[in-house]
Amino acid sequence: MTTTTSKTLDECVICREESTKLYQCCSNEADQICELCWSKLISSAMTSGKIGLLFNEKLSCVCCSEPIKRECLPKEIQTRINSILSTVPNTKNPKTIEEFNYTYNKSNELRHCLTNEKFIFLTQRHYNLLGSCIDTYIQSLIKSDPWNYEEIWLPIKDESTNDHHDQVNIFISNDFKTNENGCLILIQGSGVVRPGQWARSCCINESLDIGSMFPYMAKAKEHNLSVIILNPNQTSYVVVDKPVDTEDAASINKKENAAGEGTNSTNEKQDTTVVNTTSTDTKDNSTDEQILSTSENKDKKEENCDSDDILSFYLSSDPLPRPLTKKISNLSTSREHVLYVYDQIITKSPAKKFYIVAHSAGGDCLMYLLRKRQDKILPNLAKIAFTDSVHSLLPLDSNEIKNFFKANAIHFVASDEPMGKLIDYVYDFSRRPACQEVSAGHPKHEYTSGYSVQGVFQFFFPSDKTQDEDIERIKL
């Protein structure tokens, strides 16, 4: 576990290059490695998402498979590793991305506040808690200049209240109630994403221009469309002041989810997630994601936690404890959510035309809405754009829906082909796609909405000739 410096040249066990300074970072004295090779090994661990194992002394030496001692690594590498450790908040209940030493730069990319490095995966627990803070950050942007969207809590209650623990929030643009020209309806997929997001992973690893809905909101404004952003994933709320053991909570939630979501299955791959709920802080009007519990004693307990305890908390490979939850009344499934929002909110819009973008499982929710409210929604429905969506036409679907899809719907699918190129698939059992299918311009599912925004609006408005390179970066 030492650094070997000698006047004679010794050989690195990996690259076989000779050096006067080698680093022995495990108990095997024969395994001495040069600084360059150590740099490559640690960088590889960062890229593969295994760097958290180093802090738990579980990252094995490539030579002898014994745990690597990070205090014996070259100083420059230790400095970089310490910058990763600085992304661990000083609390188990973080509220902001700045507590993780991350911020979004002018290019809408998540970067380390001190080193300007991209996000580095530490553990799933660390990732989930950061993701919840990003949910809060994005929703705060939606409610601030220049967007100034209105937050609406559902189900609608007879009396106004500041207690929204048993409700779910959606957002409407400030012209939603007055804009007669048209309205854009945005429906995200399933999983951990909340209003304003298409994909959490893209918001973290790429940029808000790819993972968020801000580019769609900007294009809607260009075309004088009001906007409504749904929140179909948040179908439960945390039961206040009723703590429950993790195993019991997981068992109860599993049974509840099986009963409520049995008819709403999708093929979408999701991030590992925990139960989340949102509430409004009346002091700063921000939305907080409650991950563990709503108990007021939580912060008091943290006062007695030392830094080692907090570090162990974030480095743990165990999933976050899940609180006991209940289904939200009248919005207990994603399908119920979309139907309720249509009946209670969208029907009150004065818009003469409606345009819908549905991503992934959002397509299933949209099909459910069309079948339930066909006579009301079809007359004013202009066009639909699906992005790598889960949807299909059934034999019993009406001719009106089928004809609408032929003329006014498009599906941007994950593909290596250039964005907008027609995709010709061969289907078994003579199945045909529900509508025209074209490439989204990216092969990964979670990127499709971000990459196809230009194509979506060119489909909505064929006279829109703006090219991708002419689009200015969205100012948040």
Domain boundaries of the chain, sorted by first residue: 10-85, 143-238+328-466
Q: What's the pLDDT at 431?
A: 59
More confident residue, 398 or 425: 398
Q: Name the average pLDDT for the chain.
A: 83
315 forms beta bridges with: none
Range 430-445 average pLDDT? 88
- What's the whole-number mean pLDDT along residues 10-22? 81
pLDDT at 260: 41
Q: Which residue has 């000779």 as its token pair?
A: 18
State the pLDDT at residue 293: 36
- Give the pLDDT score at 70: 83
Average pLDDT of the residues in 431-437: 84
Query: b/e per residue, 224-262, with b = 16+ CB within 10 A?
Result: ebbbbbbbbbbbbbbbeeeebeeeebbebbeebbeebbe
CATH of domain 143-238+328-466: 3.40.50
Looking at per-residue pLDDT, the higher value among 65 and 412 belongs to: 412
> pLDDT-based confidence at 470, cuts 50/70/90?
very low
At 273, the pLDDT band (50, 70, 90 cuts) reads: very low
Give the number of other Cβ atoms within 10 Å of residue 137's Cβ.
24
Task: Give the pLDDT confidence score for residue 99 in this predicted structure.
Answer: 97
Q: What is the mean pLDDT of residues 300-312?
A: 69
Which is it for the CA torsion 450, 451, 452, 457, positive or negative? positive
Q: Are 90 and 40 in contact (CB under 8 A)?
A: no
What is the pLDDT at residue 141?
98
Residue 305 has pLDDT above 70, yes or no: no
Query: Percentage of residues in the chain with pLDDT exceeding 70?
Result: 80
pLDDT tier at 465, thresholds 50, 70, 90:
low
**Do β-strands 325-327 and 236-238 pair in parallel, antiparallel, or remain unpaired?**
antiparallel
CATH number of 10-85: 3.30.40
pLDDT one-digit tens code per residue, 133-171: 999 999 999 999 999 999 999 999 988 888 999 999 999
Quick: pLDDT tens for 99-122. 999 999 999 999 999 999 999 999
**143-238+328-466 and 10-85 share a CATH fold:** no
> What value does the mean pLDDT take over residues 223-236?
97
pLDDT average, residue stretch 350-378:
97
